[in-house]
Structure 1
Amino acid sequence: MTAPAPPPTSRRLRSFFELGKFKIIELWLGFWVGVALLGRSAYQDGRSLAILACILIAGIAVIAATCSLDDIVGVRDGVDQANHREGTRWGVDKPILTGRLDEPSAFRFVHLLAAVAGLGYVAVLGLAWPLPTWLWATMTAMMGLAVNYSYGLKLSYRGAGELVILVGGSGTVLLPYALVKGDAPPQVVISALLVGLWHAQVVMFSNTKDAAGDRATGRMTIAARCTPRGNKLFIASSFLLGMGATWLALFRGLLPSFYLLALAPVWMLQAIQLWRGLRREEWLAARLLGFRVLRIGILALTAINLLFHR
Structure 2
Amino acid sequence: MHTETIQASSTGKVRPESKLRSYARLAKLDVYDYYLSILVVASAVVLPSGSLNARTVFTLLGFLIGEVLVTVALVAFDDLTGFRDGSDIKNYGPDNPLRKKLRKPLVAGTLEPREAERFGWITALLGAAVWAGTIAIAPASPVWTIAVIGVLYVLALQYSYGLKLSYHGLQEIFLVWLGLSMVIAPYGLVSGQFSWFVFVQGVLFGFGPLMFGVYSNSNDVEGDRLVNRPTVAALVSQRGNTIFIGALSFAEFAIGALASAIGAAPWWFVVLMLPATALRARQYYLGFRAGDIMRARKLGFKVHRVSVGLLIVANLFIGLGGPT
Structures share a fold, TM > 0.5? yes
Look up the equivalent residue of 1:294 and give its one-letter code. H
The alpha-carbon deviation at position 90 of structure 1 amounts to 7.4
1:256-279 CA distances to partner (integer Å, 9 max, x unpaired)? 244346412101111111111222
1:111-170 CA distances to partner (integer Å, 9 max, x unpaired)? 221222011121122123762222211111112111211111111111211111111112
Q: 2:55 aligns with which of 47, 63, 87?
A: 47
| Paired residues of 1:79 and 1:219 also in contact (CA < 8 A) | no
Look up the equivalent residue of 1:70 and give its one-letter code. D
The alpha-carbon deviation at position 300 of structure 1 amounts to 2.4
Tell me how far apart the structure 2 counterparts of residues 283 and 193 of structure 1 sit (CA, whole Å). 24
Q: Does 1:93 pair with 2:103? A: yes
Tell me how far apart the structure 2 counterparts of residues 121 and 87 of structure 1 sit (CA, whole Å). 39
Q: 1:249 aligns with which of 259, 266, 281?
A: 259
Residue range with higher mean Cα deviation, 279-288 or 11-20: 279-288
Q: Does 1:287 pair with 2:297? A: yes
RMSD: 2.4
Unaligned runs of 5+ in 1: none
**What is the SS of the residue equivalent to 2:275?**
helix
| Paired residues of 1:29 and 1:172 also in contact (CA < 8 A) | no
Residue 26 of structure 1 corresponds to which residue in structure 2?
33
Residue 273 of structure 2 corresponds to which residue in structure 1?
263
Residue 132 of structure 2 corresponds to which residue in structure 1?
122
Q: Does 1:68 pair with 2:76? A: yes
| Paired residues of 2:63 and 2:186 also in contact (CA < 8 A) | yes
How many matched pairs? 308
Q: Is the alpha carbon distance of 1:42 and 1:128 closer, same or farther for their aligned partners in structure 2, counting shifts above 3 Å?
A: farther
Look up the equivalent residue of 2:26 and give its one-letter code. L
Look up the equivalent residue of 1:5 and give its one-letter code. E
Greater length-normalized contact order (CA 8 Å, ≥ 6 residues apart): 1
**What is the SS of the residue equivalent to 1:254?**
coil
Matches within 5 A, 1:1-310: 5=4, 11-40=18-47, 41=49, 44-85=52-93, 86=96, 88-89=98-99, 93-128=103-138, 131-260=141-270, 262-310=272-320
Q: Is the alpha carbon distance of 1:254 and 1:20 closer, same or farther for their aligned partners in structure 2, counting shifts above 3 Å?
A: same
**What is the SS of the residue equivalent to 1:100?**
coil
Tell me how far apart the structure 2 counterparts of residues 74 and 187 of structure 1 sit (CA, whole Å). 37
| Paired residues of 1:222 and 1:231 also in contact (CA < 8 A) | yes
Look up the equivalent residue of 2:289 and give its one-letter code. R
Tell me how far apart the structure 2 counterparts of residues 62 and 163 of structure 1 sit (CA, whole Å). 18
| Percentage of matched positions with identical amino acids | 30
The alpha-carbon deviation at position 207 of structure 1 amounts to 0.4
The alpha-carbon deviation at position 103 of structure 1 amounts to 1.2
The alpha-carbon deviation at position 238 of structure 1 amounts to 1.3
| Paired residues of 2:79 and 2:104 also in contact (CA < 8 A) | yes
| Paired residues of 2:101 and 2:108 also in contact (CA < 8 A) | no
Tell me how far apart the structure 2 counterparts of residues 42 and 182 of structure 1 sit (CA, whole Å). 17
Look up the equivalent residue of 2:309 and give its one-letter code. L
Q: Is the alpha carbon distance of 1:54 and 1:143 closer, same or farther for their aligned partners in structure 2, counting shifts above 3 Å?
A: same
| Paired residues of 2:140 and 2:189 also in contact (CA < 8 A) | no
Look up the equivalent residue of 1:67 and give its one-letter code. V
Tell me how far apart the structure 2 counterparts of residues 93 and 125 of structure 1 sit (CA, whole Å). 34
Unaligned runs of 5+ in 2: 6-14
TM-score (norm 2): 0.88
| Paired residues of 1:34 and 1:175 also in contact (CA < 8 A) | no
| Paired residues of 1:157 and 1:218 also in contact (CA < 8 A) | yes
Q: Is the alpha carbon distance of 1:92 and 1:65 closer, same or farther for their aligned partners in structure 2, counting shifts above 3 Å?
A: farther
Residue range with higher mean Cα deviation, 218-227 or 33-42: 33-42
**What is the SS of the residue equivalent to 2:123?**
helix
Q: Is the alpha carbon distance of 1:9 and 1:297 closer, same or farther for their aligned partners in structure 2, counting shifts above 3 Å?
A: same
Residue 8 of structure 2 corresponds to which residue in structure 1?
none
Tell me how far apart the structure 1 counterparts of residues 188 and 97 of structure 2 sit (CA, whole Å). 39
The alpha-carbon deviation at position 98 of structure 1 amounts to 0.3
Q: Is the alpha carbon distance of 1:10 and 1:50 closer, same or farther for their aligned partners in structure 2, counting shifts above 3 Å?
A: farther
